[in-house]
Amino acid sequence: MYSGLSLDQAPPISVVTRFFLTVPIFGLALCGLILVNPQAVLTPNHPFSLAVIHLFMLGVITMSMIGALFQMQSVLGGRPIPSAQGNAFLIHLFLLIGIASLSSAFILNSPPLFIVASLFLGAGILHSANLILPLLFGGGIHDTLRGMRLALISLFITAVLGIIMASEYANASFSGFHEAIRTSHYSLGLVGWIGTLIIAVAFQVIEMFYVTVAYSAWCKRNAFRIIAAALLLKIIWLFGALPLAWMFDLVIAALLIGFATTTANRLNMRKRRVSDVSIWFWFFGIGLLVVSILFYGVFEVSGYPPALSASLIAFALFALSVILGMIGKIVPFLVWFHLNSAGYMDAPIMSNIIPQTRAKYLFALTVLTAFLALEGVILPDAFALAAITGGGMFALLLFNLMNALRLYRHTLTHGKRFEQM
Partner 1 sequence: MILEFMRDDHRACDHLYTEAEAAVLAKDLEKAASLFQDFAEATLHHFDMEEKELFITFEKRTGMMGGPTQMMRYEHQQLRTLLESMRLALSENRPNDFFGIGESMMIMLQQHNMKEEQMLYPMIDRALDTDAGLMIQTLREMVR
Q: Does 266 bind partner 1 (CB under 8 A)?
A: no
**What is the smallest separation between the CB atom of 219 and partner 1, expressed in angstroms?**
18
**What is the smallest separation between the CB atom of 345 and partner 1, expressed in angstroms?**
11
Binding residue for partner 1 (CB under 8 A) from 172, 176, 244, 273? 273
**What is the smallest separation between the CB atom of 363 and partner 1, expressed in angstroms?**
17
Interface stretch with partner 1, choices 140-148, 377-385, 394-402, 407-415 (CB under 8 A):
140-148
Q: Does 388 bind partner 1 (CB under 8 A)?
A: no
**What is the smallest separation between the CB atom of 63 and partner 1, expressed in angstroms?**
22
* CA–CA separation, 141 and 100 (whole Å): 37
Burial class (CB in 10 A: 0-12, 13-18, 19+), 363: buried
Q: 75 or 97: whose CB is closer to partner 1?
A: 75
What number of residues does the chain have?
Answer: 421
Q: Does 397 bind partner 1 (CB under 8 A)?
A: no
Per-residue x/- mask for partner 1, residues 53 to 82, rule CB under 8 A? ----------------------xx-x----
Binding residue for partner 1 (CB under 8 A) from 177, 186, 209, 246? 209
* CA–CA separation, 165 and 25 (whole Å): 26
Nearest to 198 by CA among 159, 134, 151: 151
- List, as own/partner pairs, every contact residues 378-386 make where C-beta atoms lie below 8 angstroms and the sequence separation is at least 24, other chains included: 378/306, 380/38, 380/39, 380/42, 381/38, 383/34, 383/38, 383/41, 383/42, 384/34, 384/35, 384/38, 386/34
Q: Does 349 bind partner 1 (CB under 8 A)?
A: yes
Q: Does 204 bind partner 1 (CB under 8 A)?
A: yes
Per-residue x/- mask for partner 1, residues 302 to 331, rule CB under 8 A? ---------------------------x--
Q: Does 416 bind partner 1 (CB under 8 A)?
A: no
**What is the smallest separation between the CB atom of 272 and partner 1, expressed in angstroms?**
5
* CA–CA separation, 320 and 316 (whole Å): 6
Distance from the first to the final alpha carbon of the chain: 33
Please enumerate in sequence order all residues whose Cβ is within 8 A of that of 41, keeping only pairs 6 or more positions apart, or say none. Answer: 33, 34, 48, 49, 52, 383
Answer whether 27's CB lies under 8 Å from 390's CB: yes
- Number of residues interacting with partner 1: please give it, by CB under 8 A: 33
* CA–CA separation, 362 and 366 (whole Å): 6
Interface ranges with partner 1 (CB under 8 A): 1-2, 5-9, 75-76, 78, 139-140, 142, 144-145, 204, 208-209, 211, 271-274, 329, 333, 336-337, 340-341, 349-352
